[in-house]
Amino acid sequence: MIGLISATAAGAAARDRLAAAWPDRTRVYDGPVGEAVRAAFAECDRLVCFLATGAVVRLLAPLLGDKAADPGVVCVDEGGRFAVSLLGGHGGGANELAREVGELLGAEPVVTTATDAVGLPGLDTLGLPYEGAVAAVSRALLDGEPVALRAEVAWPLPPLPFSARGEYTVRLTDRAGAPGEREVLLRPPTLVVGVGASRGAPVEEVVGLVEEALRGAGLSARSVAELATVDAKSGEPGIVTAAEQLGVPLVTYSAEELAAVEVPNPSGAPLAAVGTPSVAEAAALLRGGELLVPKRKSERADGRPAMATCAVVRRPGRGRLAVVGLGPGARDLLTPRAAAELRRASVLVGLDQYVDQIRDLLRPGTRVLESGLGAEEERARTAVAEARAGHAVALIGSGDAGVYAMASPALAEASDDIDVVGVPGVTAALAAGAILGAPLGHDHVSISLSDLHTPWEVIERRVRAAAESDLVVTFYNPRSRGRDWQLPKALAILAGHREQETPVGVVRNASRPDGSSRVTTLGALDPATVDMMTVVTVGNTATRNIAGRMVTPRGYRWQGAGEEAR
């Protein structure tokens, strides 16, 4: 919950804008400011104070406790010009909150955390539990001192300037142990604990068994990713509560799935009870990995039979491939999610001209693998190979990566040994449509006229189907120096089913500074004025030119004069 505190009418107005935008995330604290700050500090994860920073500092000073536990605090000035991350920039989430508040209120986010200022990801912002000398090791990274990465397990990390050796160390490990004086331990979620339990097994018995198994194997509980069990135990209170106490999700599988897993210690008891010869080992091993702790039973002080079993598996770290659509070219049409994936990636793969568009958004140390036109399949193979090597990879394409771009060849190469994330982007058809008016207001289709990968016979059949179906058509790749006859042929096919006065929109470099657009007609369009940077949108029989804009009605009954628009 985000606590909102203000002292003036102007502050209250901005406060109320946040409260209206985030009704489920915020709580307004009224009354005397000092009391409001103290109450919000005790009850909320983060605070936004519409007060001077000096006043907030004085109010917060007596309340400050542990850096890891204090809420993040953002200050917004009286004029709403700045959103200042004042306290808990990383651990408290104030840096990100300042950016969110700034975006909503039109204020400039002010973030002074050293790593953010120079574009380095903070060790405490990687989404992994951490221990040790975060401040000292971060300062060493900032000062250019050698910091060694000791990766005992593989895990995709964002770019950081690690060295082969150094007095400071970042250790990526799921092993138990305390960090050294100049060391940070990062705990990736590599461990899966399979659990089984008899009906009515006490939660203390389940949790005690899991903790004992981890401790005996020298493993850290902070690296446990999930508890896993059979579907029949999905509501068993001892198991459900154990997952809650350990702070991990509970994952369940069917008895049939578990019975298909080969395990070293099958048993007749679970087979009779739930239909599989193994629960703990099979649930831990079902998605692969190394069995670190074979099935073991709990031990009860009263000497009665054990009611819980568990097994521990280490799953291999999986590389991450983000397929990112950059939009049509304008920076403000690049989505926040796409920008975040670019900052997260330690390896970027893309066409050289697209890399140039977003190079300034990359973190220092990002490895860039760029190539020229015609190397799409090579880029896809490279991106997948880098992800399989355990890296965090961003593969970029223009528009939406799934529309005539890199998602198809990449996913054709990828198997289930890596994590794949798709990041949508604004397509050229949508960007052009917004410039032209509303040409895509009803059913529409996009067709590429490039026959480099698709035979012309197939393209022509699709154009004829679109013409006969009266669909609005957007042509991608309409004409190049070596392909100058396909567009006239496609337009001729459409002209067999539409009037010569049918509106046609021609947009070149949509959203870019050198972009241009015009609305013409099917009969008047000169194909020689079109090139590969152009999108051509041909209306259907209902599309009209209204005040120079293409408009396709939502229904085929055109709204007549005096009729109320729907």
Contact 19, 106 (CB under 8 A): no
Statement: residue 565 has pLDDT above 70: no
Q: DSSP letter string over 347-358?
A: EEEEEHHHHHHH
CA 423/CA 358 separation, integer angstroms: 15
- Strand-pairing partners, residue 445, are 473
- Strand-pairing partners, residue 351, are 371
Direct distance between the N- and C-terminal alpha carbons of the chain, in angstroms, rounded to an integer: 40
The DSSP element (H or E) to which 427 belongs, if any, is none
Statement: residue 300 has pLDDT above 90: no
Contact 297, 291 (CB under 8 A): no
- What confidence score (pLDDT) does residue 562 get? 42
Mean pLDDT of 521-531: 94
Tokens describing residue 244: 């809650």
Those residues with Cβ within 8 angstroms of residue 525's Cβ, 6 or more apart along the chain or in another chain: 491, 504, 506, 536
Reported confidence tier of residue 566, pLDDT bands at 50, 70, 90: very low
| Tally of CA atoms within 13 A in the half-sphere of 133 that contains its CB | 15
Contact 128, 225 (CB under 8 A): no
The lowest-confidence range among 173-177, 285-289, 459-463, 558-562 is 558-562
Residue 25 burial (10 A CB sphere; 0-12, 13-18, 19+): middle
- What confidence score (pLDDT) does residue 482 get? 86
The lowest-confidence range among 50-54, 269-273, 389-393, 521-525 is 269-273
Tokens describing residue 280: 């703990």
**Percent over 90 (pLDDT), the chain:** 64
Reported confidence tier of residue 396, pLDDT bands at 50, 70, 90: very high
Statement: residue 560 has pLDDT above 80: no
CA 157/CA 180 separation, integer angstroms: 21
DSSP secondary structure code for residue 426 in this structure: -
Residue 431 burial (10 A CB sphere; 0-12, 13-18, 19+): buried
In the sheet with 308-314, reading across from the earlier edge strand, the strands are 250-253, 224-230, 191-197, 308-314, 290-297
- What confidence score (pLDDT) does residue 494 get? 96
Reported confidence tier of residue 557, pLDDT bands at 50, 70, 90: low
Tell which wins on pLDDT, 496 or 374.
496
The lowest-confidence range among 126-135, 221-230, 431-440 is 126-135
Taking only the tens place, the pLDDT of each residue in 318-376 is 899 999 999 998 999 999 999 989 998 999 999 999 999 999 999 888 999 999 888 88
Q: Which of 334, 315, 340 is nearest to 158 (CA)?
A: 340
**Percent over 70 (pLDDT), the chain:** 98
Residue for token digits 């089984």?
196
CA 438/CA 431 separation, integer angstroms: 11
Those residues with Cβ within 8 angstroms of residue 45's Cβ, 6 or more apart along the chain or in another chain: 1, 2, 71, 72, 92, 93
CA 424/CA 435 separation, integer angstroms: 20
- What's the pTM? 0.73
Mean pLDDT of 131-151: 89
Contacts 24+ apart (CB under 8 A), 517-525: 517/432, 517/435, 517/436, 519/436, 519/437, 519/545, 519/548, 519/549, 519/550, 522/491, 522/494, 522/495, 522/498, 523/495, 524/500, 525/491
CA 545/CA 519 separation, integer angstroms: 8
Contact 497, 463 (CB under 8 A): no
CB atoms within 10 A of CB 513: 7
Reported confidence tier of residue 564, pLDDT bands at 50, 70, 90: very low
For the chain, counts of helices (H) and of strands (E): 18, 28
- What confidence score (pLDDT) does residue 423 get? 95
